[in-house]
Structure 1
Amino acid sequence: MTIIRRVRAETIAAFRAFVRRRTAVFFTFFFPVIIILIFGALVQTQPTGGGLFAQPPAYYVPGYLAVVVLFTPLSRVGSSVARHREGNRFEKLATTPLSRAEWLLAHTLVNVGIIGVASLIILGLVVTITGATITFSWLLVPFIVLGVALFCGFGAVLGSIADSQDGVIAASNTIALPLLFLSETFITPSLLPTWFQPALNLSPLSYFARGVRAATMGPVADAYGNLLVLAVLTLLFVAVGAVALPRTD
């Protein structure tokens, strides 16, 4: 069996497993909608005023996309790894030709597809509900793909070191919530203490947010540097995630 056939078989199995979990399907698409309705329709932006939402609606597009790019792969892959460990599935996997890297690639492809659809829905809702004026650049595709892959790798690490599925969920939320709001998504750097602003460069989500913002609002040239950094970080996180996956339980 070739690598393509192995990855394809695992991808189909992972997708079917996701579809069977109706609660996961529901919240994957419903949670970002709630965020948009709260921030975009109820709170709204105040471009002429001050405070947290003082930027034009288009400024917050990376934040809305980051909700699914960050939370979904981090929790889904982490939970899948923890569930496989509890069921001794990695021990069975070790007897098959499917490698750990191929397993992670298959689950990453499933997340890319799911989150790609969710991102289209989010962009449509943002434009419709908030009236944001954005450019639908082709650069959104690699940013979303790389962002999802990066946090799939991160999720694999969490799932490999957490002691249970509950532990993965707790750890992913503990990591994801600070990253979501401290990565130039919803909060502008100027609202943060001066001493803390350099720390924004330590978050991989910052490069996603900056790049998506440049791709949708301009200048587009600024997106390429962030895309390059995100690509390097993605390779690093995915490689670490693949190595961290247990061979046996």
Structure 2
Amino acid sequence: MSRLGRVRAEVGADWRSFARRRTAVFFTFFFPVILIVIFGALVSTDPGGGGLFAEPPAFYVPGYLAVVVLFTPLSRLGSEVARHREGNRFEKLATTPLSRTEWLLAQTVVNAAIIGLASLLILALVVALTGAEIVFSPLLVPYVLVGVVCFCGIGAMLGSYSDSQDGAVAASNAIGLPLLFLSETFVALEQLPDWFTPLVNLSPLTYFARGVRAATMPDAQVPAVGGVDPMVANLAVLTLLAAVAFALGARSIPRTD
């Protein structure tokens, strides 16, 4: 079987596994919907009024998308790798032609499909519930895809180095929650102390948020990087980080248990 055939077969198996887990399907799409309803509709924004929700509704679009782009790969890949380790499945995988990189690629493809559907739902709800005026830029697609690749790689590392499936889920939450709110998603950089700026720039999610904001909100004050358009520059940085994270994630997956 060719490499493409092996990846395609693994993608089909993983998609069927996800579809059979109704609880996972429900919460993958339900959680961001609840977040939008709470933050976007019930807690209405007050531009210019000060406080956390002082920006226009379109400002928070990267944050809503980040919920699924960040948490879904971290939790699914972390728990999946840990579950395979506990069941000695990587020992069986080592006896097949499927490599660790191909296995992770198949998992990433499935996550990209799931998160792509969830992102479409989120954008529709944001516009309908908050009245956000956003531009549907074609760059949204590569931003979501590259973000998924990046956090799938990080999720694979969490699952590889955690001592259990519960530990992997706990680690994904411990890393994901701070990143979600401290990567220029829901909280503007001006609202954070000056000493925190270098830490914000270390987060891959920061470049996702900046790029998506520049692509969907033309009036946003997103600085250029080295004189390069922020939509392109942030995507380039995110792509580089995604390549490193994916390579490290594939390398961290054990050959045997």
Q: Aligning the two structures, in what range does the TM-score lie when normalised by the shorter sequence?
A: over 0.9
Structure 2 unaligned residues grouped into runs of 5+: 223-228
User: For residues 65 and 53 of structure 2, what CA distance do their matches in structure 1 show?
Assistant: 17
Amino acid at match of 1:158: L
The structural deviation recorded for 1:218 is: 2.0
Equivalent residues in 2 for 1:19-34, closer than 5 Å: 19-34=19-34
Equivalence for 1:144? 144
Deviations 1:38-70 (A, max 9, x none): 000011111031010110000000000000000
Equivalent residues in 2 for 1:42-61, closer than 5 Å: 42-61=42-61
Equivalent residues in 2 for 1:50-129, closer than 5 Å: 50-129=50-129
Amino acid at match of 1:243: R
Which of 232, 235, 243 is the aligned partner of 1:227? 235
Equivalence for 1:38? 38
Which of 222, 226, 247 is the aligned partner of 1:239? 247
Structure 1 unaligned residues grouped into runs of 5+: none
Equivalence for 1:155? 155
Deviations 1:186-206 (A, max 9, x none): 000111111112221000000
Once the two structures are overlaid, the 10-residue window that deviates more, 42-51 or 27-36, is 42-51
User: For residues 48 and 151 of structure 2, what CA distance do their matches in structure 1 show?
Assistant: 35
User: For residues 25 and 46 of structure 2, what CA distance do their matches in structure 1 show?
Assistant: 33
User: For residues 205 and 227 of structure 1, what CA distance do their matches in structure 2 show?
Assistant: 11
Once the two structures are overlaid, the 10-residue window that deviates more, 216-225 or 87-96, is 216-225
**Pair 1:187-2:195 in alignment:** no
The structural deviation recorded for 1:222 is: 1.6
User: For residues 78 and 245 of structure 1, what CA distance do their matches in structure 2 show?
Assistant: 11
Equivalent residues in 2 for 1:170-181, closer than 5 Å: 170-181=170-181
User: For residues 44 and 249 of structure 2, what CA distance do their matches in structure 1 show?
Assistant: 38
Q: What TM-score do the two structures reach when normalised by structure 2?
A: 0.96
Equivalent residues in 2 for 1:158-169, closer than 5 Å: 158-169=158-169
The structural deviation recorded for 1:238 is: 0.1
User: For residues 121 and 2 of structure 2, what CA distance do their matches in structure 1 show?
Assistant: 35
Percentage identity across paired residues of the two chains: 70
Amino acid at match of 1:232: L
Amino acid at match of 2:154: F
User: For residues 127 and 108 of structure 1, what CA distance do their matches in structure 2 show?
Assistant: 28
User: For residues 192 and 52 of structure 1, what CA distance do their matches in structure 2 show?
Assistant: 11
| Runs of 4+ more than 3 Å apart | none
SS for the counterpart of 2:195 is: coil
Amino acid at match of 1:172: S
User: For residues 117 and 242 of structure 1, what CA distance do their matches in structure 2 show?
Assistant: 25
User: For residues 164 and 48 of structure 2, what CA distance do their matches in structure 1 show?
Assistant: 48
Amino acid at match of 1:24: A
User: For residues 45 and 197 of structure 2, what CA distance do their matches in structure 1 show?
Assistant: 23
User: For residues 102 and 53 of structure 1, what CA distance do their matches in structure 2 show?
Assistant: 42
Equivalent residues in 2 for 1:198-209, closer than 5 Å: 198-209=198-209
SS for the counterpart of 1:52 is: coil
User: For residues 156 and 199 of structure 1, what CA distance do their matches in structure 2 show?
Assistant: 23
Deviations 1:123-160 (A, max 9, x none): 00000000000000000000000001100000000000
What's the Cα RMSD here?
A: 0.9
Deviations 1:4-37 (A, max 9, x none): 0000000000111111111110000000001000
